[in-house]
Structure 1
Amino acid sequence: MSVEQPLWQALKAYRVLTVLYAVALFASAHEHFVRPRVAVGYLAVLAVWTLATVRKVSDARSCTRGFLAVDLGIAVTGILLTPLADSAARIHAGGPTLPSIWTAGAVLAYAVKGGWRWAAFASTLVAAANLVERGAPTRDTVHNVILVWVAAIAIGYVVEVARASERTLARALEIEAATRERERLARDIHDGVLQVLAMIRRRAADGATGGGADTAELVRLAGEQESALRALISRGLPGPRDAGPHDGPRGGGREPGREHPDGPVDLRALLARHATGPRIALAEPGTPVELPGPVAGELAAAVGAALDNVRAHAGEDARAWILLEDEPGQVIVTVRDDGPGIPEGRLQAAENEGRLGVAQSIRGRLRDLGGTAELFSVPGQGAEVELRVPKAVPEA
């Protein structure tokens, strides 16, 4: 709902109540009017107009310029007709005009529709009409004119500020949505293409791919593409969310072509896919640990990314342990290894180089799920990644 919508609703109620007030004022003092038929005729037109145009003050789109012009014209006409209907004594004594405080509603409509400049224009016309009706600028007349003028301009200014704030908020939400989409695509690229390219380069360096000019050229191209992709995703990768999830080597990311269902999924089954070798152990509860399918899939993908980091940095012979804990309000998954640990400052340096395994594939996933990812490491004593996800995951 627009931030100005409550103002339109309040204005709608104000117009209906004030036309009833104007009719009541006339009914209580009709015997003092010199031409009561003029007053009755005008108030009948005012009441019909107010009730017939209730929908016109429902929102900014319905409240057109033509409506505003006619509305203000009716208010000014009522002020100028007052000397013809009422007695001069009552007018000089400060008696109300025929539309009374209904006139302020016409001015406020200008303020809500067009801001403080429109409000200044409308209130100036009403002020001039009041001065003509009174014949002389009395203290009460000047006081009322200034009050309406200042209030209308203030409300118009507030409306302009509210609209600017609403546009800024909408832009911020668009930027946040685009940033989340870039991070998601960066995670998919990291868990799929980048991991494959990095694996090709590592195996070539270990002499596992064989010789030959074609192999050397393939390795060179793989290295170039890996560097280019890392630079691209570190700057931000725009584009629609049209790419499906990709699988990383040896369990990183999601399985190719498979989307996790929206219903409950036992997280133990997803984590078991990562503990297929003798060097990765899984400790889990004896009862199912159920999470919504997409949440469980993202959490399992973060665990896969953590294990990929173990293989890449601790070596193929490193051992890893996955601990799954099911607590009343959250699920905790811990991945620990017996590698050499992470040197201080290495994570920030890796992120600057475009290596976003921890920043995006792990922390980014957990942040999107409303959880946290903490990494603990002591040089020479391995590393530990603790992933926490609340069971009541907020919607994105």
Structure 2
Amino acid sequence: MTIEGPFWRAIAVFRVASLVYAGVLMAQHEGFAEPLTGWVVIAVMALWTAASTFAYSVRALRGRPLLVIDMLVTLACLLATPYVQGQFQGQLGSMPVPAIWVASPVLAWAVYGGRRLGAVAAAIVAVADLWVRVNGPDSPVLLNGAVLLFMAGIVVGHVARLAKQAEERMQRAAEMEAAQRERERLARGIHDSVLQVLALVQRRGQEIGGEAAELGRLAGQQEAALRELLAVRPAPTGSADLRALLMRHGSAQVTVSTPATPIVLPGSVAEEVAAAVRAALDNVRAHCGPEARAWVFAEEGEGEVTVSVRDEGEGIEEGRLEQARAEGRLGVAQSIEGRVADLGGRVSIISSPGEGTEVEITVPSAQPPASVDRAVRGRRSPGPSGRDPAT
């Protein structure tokens, strides 16, 4: 059962109650000027109340055709008022023959389409009611009914739309929770079998060497990919878990260490940080060789996230980065420092000849995604390939 169900049942109750009220008014005034026509209108209202109650209870029947028919039937009953009441219309008060029953389609349109559609329905009924009053003898033109119709259509439509959105969010949360439970169940079984076998193949392949070393390297890559798949947890809408993006870089040569809990950042921030890490790893492979070992560490502090990339290479000679900038090779300046600067963060590069290099990236953890998107769009594209050349 959807959250709309209670709304449609409430409208059905309103139809029945307002129908009874219209019947009481008809009997109280002895059928007005045309009793036969008046009771025919009440009969039509009763039949449509029963039919619409059933139709709106079936989800497949709810749609614009039913809403239009509902409005047409209501308008027909409302526009019959001058013919039923005749010369007594102005003397008997301002209430039309259907009385408050005319609000039923307004409520139905509001529940179906929100406050805008509810306001449209209220305007249609209000115009018809105004026409009835203008064409009645000495009938006072009152706007109270129109105001109430608009208030009902807008308020009910707004509440119904909020309820639908809440239901959708709850459904997504339930699906994410179910997916996470299934992932954890699979992880328990895989951890004791597949991951251990892949780790054993990787270790033994490196020990044996030769072709077995290549098999070990491939096994290590598959182990890292599988661990990433099992470790990924859903992040809130519009956000991303930085751990999942960093784990993609894991391989036999690259070790990625992250906290056990998600590092949730705005999606654009997480993507840019991961891209900066990728650029740093590209530099490691370019200057230290494809088999060079590297380590990626991520941690979340108070209001900021820090990711460091370390290697065991020969390090960067003093003045080498400045020389690269002067020669127009802006890999570090654009792919790493430029990206992080656009995020409002900072980059620290620590390197000594013969002792490797550490690139430390620190970004705020609560920066609004919109400002980051503007900064990223404003940053100059590095080149046709989409990747900056290595320093």
TM-score range (shorter-chain normalised) is 0.5 to 0.7
Q: Is the 8 A contact 2:201 2:215 kept in 1?
A: no
2:76 counterpart residue number: 77
1:382 counterpart residue number: none
Q: Is the 8 A contact 2:109 2:121 kept in 1?
A: yes
How far residue 104 of structure 1 moved from its aligned partner, in angstroms, is 0.9
2:151 counterpart residue number: 150
In 1: Cα distance, 2:23 partner to 2:8 partner = 23
Task: Tell me the amino acid that sits aligned with residue 224 of structure 2.
Answer: R
Change (3 A) 1:118 1:138: farther
2:16 counterpart residue number: 16
Question: Where in structure 2 are the equivalents of 1:291-302 lying within 5 Å?
Answer: none
Q: Is the 8 A contact 1:34 1:85 kept in 2?
A: yes
1:171 counterpart residue number: 172
Q: Give the match's secondary structure for 1:101.
A: helix
2:223 counterpart residue number: 229
Change (3 A) 1:92 1:134: farther
2:187 counterpart residue number: 186
Task: Tell me the amino acid that sits aligned with residue 148 of structure 1.
Answer: L
Q: Give the match's secondary structure for 2:29.
A: helix
How far residue 188 of structure 1 moved from its aligned partner, in angstroms, is 2.8
Q: Is the 8 A contact 2:134 2:141 kept in 1?
A: no
In 1: Cα distance, 2:61 partner to 2:260 partner = 56
Task: Tell me the amino acid that sits aligned with residue 22 of structure 2.
Answer: A
In 2: Cα distance, 1:101 partner to 1:36 partner = 20
Q: Is the 8 A contact 1:130 1:141 kept in 2?
A: no
State yes or no: 1:196 paired with 2:189: no
How far residue 189 of structure 1 moved from its aligned partner, in angstroms, is 2.7
Change (3 A) 1:34 1:179: same
Q: Give the match's secondary structure for 2:90.
A: helix
Q: Is the 8 A contact 2:33 2:84 kept in 1?
A: yes
1:26 counterpart residue number: 26
Change (3 A) 1:184 1:218: farther
Change (3 A) 1:16 1:224: same
Q: Give the match's secondary structure for 1:98.
A: coil
How far residue 168 of structure 1 moved from its aligned partner, in angstroms, is 2.5
How far residue 152 of structure 1 moved from its aligned partner, in angstroms, is 1.0
In 1: Cα distance, 2:50 partner to 2:220 partner = 69
How far residue 121 of structure 1 moved from its aligned partner, in angstroms, is 1.8
In 1: Cα distance, 2:190 partner to 2:29 partner = 80
**Normalising to structure 1: TM-score of the pair?**
0.52
Change (3 A) 1:158 1:60: farther
In 2: Cα distance, 1:97 partner to 1:139 partner = 12
How far residue 119 of structure 1 moved from its aligned partner, in angstroms, is 1.4
Task: Tell me the amino acid that sits aligned with residue 90 of structure 2.
Answer: I
Aligned length: 239
In 2: Cα distance, 1:10 partner to 1:183 partner = 42
Q: Is the 8 A contact 2:67 2:109 kept in 1?
A: yes
Q: Give the match's secondary structure for 1:159.
A: helix
In 2: Cα distance, 1:168 partner to 1:348 partner = 27
1:56 counterpart residue number: 55
Q: Is the 8 A contact 2:199 2:220 kept in 1?
A: yes
In 2: Cα distance, 1:74 partner to 1:348 partner = 63
How far residue 142 of structure 1 moved from its aligned partner, in angstroms, is 0.4
Q: Is the 8 A contact 2:205 2:212 kept in 1?
A: no
Task: Tell me the amino acid that sits aligned with residue 151 of structure 2.
Answer: V
In 2: Cα distance, 1:3 partner to 1:118 partner = 19
1:96 counterpart residue number: 95
How far residue 15 of structure 1 moved from its aligned partner, in angstroms, is 1.4
In 1: Cα distance, 2:19 partner to 2:82 partner = 19
Change (3 A) 1:151 1:52: closer
Question: Where in structure 2 are the equivalents of 1:167-316 lying within 5 Å?
Answer: 167-199=168-200, 217-218=211-212, 221-222=215-216, 224-236=218-230
Q: Is the 8 A contact 1:3 1:163 kept in 2?
A: yes
- 1:329-362 Cα shifts (integer Å, max 9, x gaps): xxxxxxxxxxxxxxxxx994999989xxxxxxxx
Task: Tell me the amino acid that sits aligned with residue 180 of structure 1.
Answer: R
How far residue 220 of structure 1 moved from its aligned partner, in angstroms, is 5.3
Task: Tell me the amino acid that sits aligned with residue 223 of structure 2.
Answer: L
1:160 counterpart residue number: 161
In 2: Cα distance, 1:167 partner to 1:72 partner = 29
How far residue 18 of structure 1 moved from its aligned partner, in angstroms, is 1.8
Mean alpha-carbon deviation: is it higher for 94-103 or for 83-92? Answer: 83-92
Task: Tell me the amino acid that sits aligned with residue 233 of structure 1.
Answer: R
Q: Percent identity?
A: 35
Task: Tell me the amino acid that sits aligned with residue 110 of structure 1.
Answer: W
Q: Is the 8 A contact 1:16 1:50 kept in 2?
A: yes
CA RMSD of aligned residues (A): 3.4
- 1:280-333 Cα shifts (integer Å, max 9, x gaps): xxxxxxxxxxxxxxxxxxxxxxxxxxxxxxxxxxxxxxxxxxxxxxxxxxxxxx
- 1:65-113 Cα shifts (integer Å, max 9, x gaps): 2232222122222222212221545435633211111111121111112
In 2: Cα distance, 1:198 partner to 1:60 partner = 53
Unmatched 5+ stretches in structure 2: 233-256, 264-294, 297-391
Unmatched 5+ stretches in structure 1: 239-345, 355-396
Change (3 A) 1:38 1:348: closer
In 1: Cα distance, 2:262 partner to 2:129 partner = 69
Q: Give the match's secondary structure for 1:2.
A: coil
Task: Tell me the amino acid that sits aligned with residue 158 of structure 2.
Answer: Y
**Normalising to structure 2: TM-score of the pair?**
0.53
Q: Is the 8 A contact 1:194 1:229 kept in 2?
A: yes
